[in-house]
Amino acid sequence: MPSLSNESLQAALEQRKEKHLYRSRKIVSGRHSIETIIDGVPVLSFCSNDYLGLATHPNVIKVLQQAAEDLGLGSGASHLVSGHNHTHHALEEELAEFVQRERALLFSTGYMANLGVISALLGRGDCLYEDRLNHASLLDAARLSMAQRLRYTHNDTQALDSRLSTNNQSKRLIVTDGVFSMDGDIAPLPEIASLARKHEAWVMVDDAHGFGVLGKNGGGSLEHFGLNSDDVPILMGTLGKGLGSFGAFVAGSNALIETLIQQARPYIYTTALPPAVVQATRTSLKLVTEESWRRDKLNSLIQRFRHGAQQLGITLTASNTAIQPIIIGQSDAALQASDTLLSSGIFVSAIRPPTVAEGSARLRITFSANHSEGHIDQLLLALENTL
Ligand SMILES: *Cc1c(COP(=O)(O)O)cnc(C)c1O
């Protein structure tokens, strides 16, 4: 019988190291911006999800400081007890208006929003259809809900169609990332929405990497395709990536949001976000709405990188978003490449299984509107010397 002991834990850790799958944390001592300090060394970073560079925007910081004065730090309780501040309420209304839905509901994290929605809507005997490359939180949500999980081949709408055809349980929900977090490609949402209509299922999109970044106005992958709430009744967006802050929201109909308030356990049984952070996020949302130049600049940086990489003979994926992976293959080789880049002052993290499939370890490069063309050229030069 295997038993829990420090010795057995240590043995498993050693095995993990031998397979080059050991995860360790690098300590950031500078600001969380493109230029920072990692383990004491100044670097140029290409691995944050702060795509618009709003995490360090001076207006956001000023509002945060003032709100901390006015409101304090913690909310002190969950939303349903005494933690629901007027700032939470105002941000929910602003988010709902921004994505053109009846209501929005704040969650403390995107991970919890996914658990909350899926476990509130589905139970034993219901069916959840998931893209194979969906985020871990969506896979975990299936377990919490006890619904049957049916995974379909990545972005393969024919596979989804046949999955939906063979099964006819009472409640059916299709859930997909809008932009896939480790690949950067966009889900075929118009086709998915029409399959949902054909098979009488609902669709939920996790737009963690699209919200604020894609679409002319930053509305995300739904705006990118011109889809509305009839096509995709449930939209989840996070506030820690494109908005440079923290937290998440779910947007949809009044009935959906009220159901979540009544039934989503990861909403009900957790402390509400710090109100000062929420107040600062309102400023982030304003910047996203009013200043589209960050999205334009980000896109031109992405194009510059792709063009330059192709000239160097570096194989890229089909991604056109700010997530530009370079597939290396083996975990040790990916780690080695990341270390070599770091020693030349370029920070790009290596992503290994089980986050990505076996044999597809990669450098996950991400861009920010705060990068300059010169930064892209620096990255390309370092890649040329490394790969
Ligand atoms: C980051 C991420 C989440 C989790 O959001 P947090 O707010 O960081 O918990 C959920 N889904 C996807 C696709 C993500 O990339």
φ/ψ of 126, rounded to 5, equals -90, 170
Residue 7 lies in a domain: no
207 lines ligand 1 (CB under 6 A): no
Sign of the alpha-carbon dihedral angle for 84, 86, 88, 89: positive
Q: How far apart are CA 229 and CA 241, in angstroms?
A: 23
Strand arrangement of the beta sheet that strand 41-45 belongs to:
35-38, 41-45, 346-347
Same domain? 278 vs 312: no
pLDDT value at residue 325: 98
Same domain? 257 vs 369: no
Residue 132 lies in a domain: yes
348-385: per-residue pLDDT in tens? 999 999 999 999 999 999 999 999 999 999 999 999 99
Residue given tokens 């600001």 in the structure block: 31
Probe target for ligand 1 pocket from 47, 50, 111, with the most ligand atoms within 8 Å of CB: 111
Same domain? 336 vs 188: no
In this prediction, residues 199-213 reach a mean pLDDT of 97
187 lines ligand 1 (CB under 6 A): no
Same domain? 240 vs 307: no
Q: How far apart are CA 285 and CA 192, in angstroms?
A: 28
Residue given tokens 């192709």 in the structure block: 310
From ligand 1's centre to the CA of 7, what distance in Å?
Answer: 34
pLDDT value at residue 170: 80
How far is CA 261 from each of CA 51, 124, 144, rounded to the nearest angstrom?
A: 30, 21, 17
> CB-based contacts of 281: which residues, under 8 Å, 6+ apart?
91, 239, 243, 245, 246, 247
Probe target for ligand 1 pocket from 132, 140, 176, 181, with the most ligand atoms within 8 Å of CB: 181
Q: Are 345 and 273 within 8 A, CB to CB?
A: no
Has residue 182 got a pLDDT over 80? yes
Q: Is position 181 annotated as part of the catalytic site? A: yes
From ligand 1's centre to the CA of 180, what distance in Å?
Answer: 11
Q: How far apart are CA 12 and CA 38, in angstroms?
A: 28
Has residue 169 got a pLDDT over 90? no
Catalytic residue, candidates 79, 88, 135, 209: 209
Using the 3D structure, point to which of 272, 290, 308 is the last residue of a domain.
Answer: 290
From ligand 1's centre to the CA of 123, what distance in Å?
Answer: 23
pLDDT band at residue 168 using 50, 70 and 90 as cut-offs:
low
299-335: per-residue pLDDT in tens? 999 999 999 999 999 999 999 999 999 999 999 999 9
Catalytic residue, candidates 48, 75, 145, 181: 181
How far is CA 349 from each of CA 21, 166, 169, 363, 373, rounded to the nearest angstrom?
A: 13, 41, 42, 6, 21
Range of the domain at 343: 20-52+292-386
Using the 3D structure, point to which of 290, 309, 331 is the last residue of a domain.
Answer: 290
Residue 239 CA: nearest ligand 1 atom is 7
pLDDT band at residue 166 using 50, 70 and 90 as cut-offs:
confident
Same domain? 283 vs 168: yes
Same domain? 233 vs 132: yes
131 lines ligand 1 (CB under 6 A): no
Same domain? 312 vs 331: yes
Residue 107 lies in a domain: yes
Using the 3D structure, point to which of 290, 320, 340 is the last residue of a domain.
Answer: 290
Average pLDDT over the chain, rounded to an integer: 96
248-304: per-residue pLDDT in tens? 999 999 999 999 999 999 999 999 999 999 999 999 999 999 999 999 999 999 999
From ligand 1's centre to the CA of 4, what distance in Å?
Answer: 31
48-90: per-residue pLDDT in tens? 999 999 999 999 999 999 999 999 999 999 999 999 999 999 9
297 lines ligand 1 (CB under 6 A): no
Phi-psi group of 186: left, alpha or beta (phi > 0 → left; psi -120 to 50 → alpha; rest → beta)? beta
Q: How far apart are CA 152 and CA 306, in angstroms?
A: 29
Q: Are 115 and 266 within 8 A, CB to CB?
A: yes
Same domain? 84 vs 222: yes
Q: How far apart are CA 385 and CA 336, in angstroms?
A: 13
In this prediction, residues 188-214 reach a mean pLDDT of 97
Number of domains, the chain: 2
Chain length of the chain: 387
204 lines ligand 1 (CB under 6 A): no
Q: Are 353 and 341 within 8 A, CB to CB?
A: no
Same domain? 283 vs 141: yes
From ligand 1's centre to the CA of 122, what distance in Å?
Answer: 20
237 lines ligand 1 (CB under 6 A): no
In this prediction, residues 232-245 reach a mean pLDDT of 98
Q: HSE-up of 65 (CA within 13 Å, CB side)?
A: 7
pLDDT value at residue 255: 98
110 lines ligand 1 (CB under 6 A): yes
209 lines ligand 1 (CB under 6 A): yes
124-150: per-residue pLDDT in tens? 999 999 999 999 999 999 999 999 999
From ligand 1's centre to the CA of 110, what distance in Å?
Answer: 5
Q: Is position 209 annotated as part of the catalytic site? A: yes
Residue 298 lies in a domain: yes
Has residue 12 got a pLDDT over 70? yes
